[in-house]
């Protein structure tokens, strides 16, 4: 049985305001901690009406403080938005407070629109183009202290200096991060729930090309998937209508809070929109636990992840908790962990 983890966006709905969505994340983390889930990651998104979590490091501390066993991390920190020293300091602090339970997942996308990305980065030492590699290298140097002789950063220490950075994971939705994670010997997480790139290709590529490093001796690949589970296929399909309408609106550039099932069922879909919804369902696994397991198994068998990270976005918070409970029964994470 494959270990299960959680990716949480702190989803805002038309009936749940952002502050309540953040509190729901804490409640869900407590819930899955008791179910045997091995990891709970928080995303970084900005200026999205449907996502309440722009600061995963803040949420990590809150969730780690109210859970006992589960690892808590970022899925991820969008590194181009931050000075590497700031990231190093905050995650060393988290590791000092919750030793052995923190993960540092890193992404290279902005996690937002162009104007917001500029607002986030305008006061940083911004380079032209994609500077993710440069920032990742600097972050690593804050840990290894291998700055060149005479470099001014040799006189700067990332505190607390008696604590190592937690494990670093590279996040991706293409072959870029799988190649990089393999080269530098770090963990890798693939975002199947929104990627257009083939998950099997990325996961196999990472495992085949992995080079052992000071960070990891062996590869560890996480497959992030979108799942909605309920007691029956019919109940799960009903819950999924909120996701369908929300995704359709996003395709039209409308980033709105997650609608209710009632609103989704009443929406006057065109034939073209129904085709679009059907196409988007290739990234969503819906049904009762047995149905979900049957749908997921071919992908698991082909991509061979070490861990399955589940994102469940439904309108009702109790239904979301129930979905994770049903998956725990089906996949048995407590036994697998």
Q: Cα(30)–Cα(267) distance, rounded to whole angstroms?
A: 35
Over residues 2-11, mean pLDDT: 97
Q: Cα(102)–Cα(67) distance, rounded to whole angstroms?
A: 12
pLDDT (tens digit per residue) in 196-247: 899 999 999 999 999 999 999 999 999 999 999 999 999 999 999 999 999 9
Give a yes or no: residue 76 inside a domain: yes
CATH of the domain at 55: 3.20.20.30
Give a yes or no: residue 336 inside a domain: no
Confidence of residue 336 (pLDDT cuts 50, 70, 90): very low
How many CB atoms lie under 10 A from the CB of residue 326?
20
pTM: 0.94
Give a yes or no: residue 271 inside a domain: yes
Q: Report how far apart, in Å, the C-alpha atoms of 127 and of each of 109, 132, 135 are.
A: 15, 10, 10
Under 8 Å between Cβ of 261 and 15: no
Q: CB under 8 Å to 259, separation ≥6 — which residues?
A: 13, 14, 242, 245, 246, 267, 315
Its domain, for residue 145, covers 4-331
Give a yes or no: residue 337 inside a domain: no
Which range has the worst mean pLDDT, 94-103, 118-127, 184-193, 297-306? 118-127
User: Angle CA(301)–CA(307)–CA(312) in degrees, nearest 5?
Assistant: 100
| Count of the separate structural domains present in the chain | 1
Element (H or E) spanning 97, and its range? Answer: helix 84-97
Q: What pLDDT shows up at residue 183?
A: 97
DSSP tag of 80: G
Q: What pLDDT shows up at residue 129?
A: 67
């Amino acid at each position: 049985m494959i270990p299960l983890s959680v990716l949480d966006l702190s989803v805002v709905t038309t009936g749940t305001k952002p502050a309540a969505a953040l509190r729901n994340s804490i409640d869900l983390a407590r819930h899955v901690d008791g179910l045997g889930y091995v990891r709970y990651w928080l995303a970084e998104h900005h200026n999205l009406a449907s996502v309440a979590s722009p600061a995963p490091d803040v949420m990590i501390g809150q969730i780690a403080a109210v859970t006992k066993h589960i690892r808590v991390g970022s899925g991820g920190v969008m590194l181009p938005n931050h000075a590497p020293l700031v990231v190093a300091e905050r995650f060393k602090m988290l590791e000092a407070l919750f030793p052995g339970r923190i993960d540092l997942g890193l992404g290279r996308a902005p996690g937002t629109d162009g104007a917001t990305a500029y607002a986030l980065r305008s006061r940083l030492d911004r380079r032209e183009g994609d500077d993710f590699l440069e920032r990742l290298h600097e972050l690593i140097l804050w840990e290894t202290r291998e700055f060149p002789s005479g470099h001014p950063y040799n006189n700067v220490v990332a505190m607390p200096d008696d604590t190592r950075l937690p494990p670093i994971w590279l996040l991706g939705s293409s072959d870029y991060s799988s190649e990089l994670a393999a080269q530098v010997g770090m963990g890798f997480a693939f975002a199947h729930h929104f990627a257009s790139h083939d998950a099997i290709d990325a996961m196999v590529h990472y495992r085949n090309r992995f080079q052992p490093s000071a960070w990891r001796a062996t590869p560890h690949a996480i497959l992030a998937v979108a799942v909605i589970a309920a007691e029956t296929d019919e109940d799960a399909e009903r819950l999924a209508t909120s996701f369908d309408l929300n995704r359709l609106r996003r395709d039209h550039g409308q980033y709105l809070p997650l609608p209710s099932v009632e609103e989704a069922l009443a929406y006057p879909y065109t034939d073209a929109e129904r085709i679009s919804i059907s196409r988007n369902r290739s990234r969503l696994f819906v049904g009762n636990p047995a149905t979900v397991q049957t749908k997921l198994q071919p992908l698991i068998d082909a991509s061979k992840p070490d861990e399955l990270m589940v994102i469940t976005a439904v309108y009702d918070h109790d239904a979301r908790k129930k979905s994770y409970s049903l998956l725990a029964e089906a996949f048995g994470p407590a036994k697998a962990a």
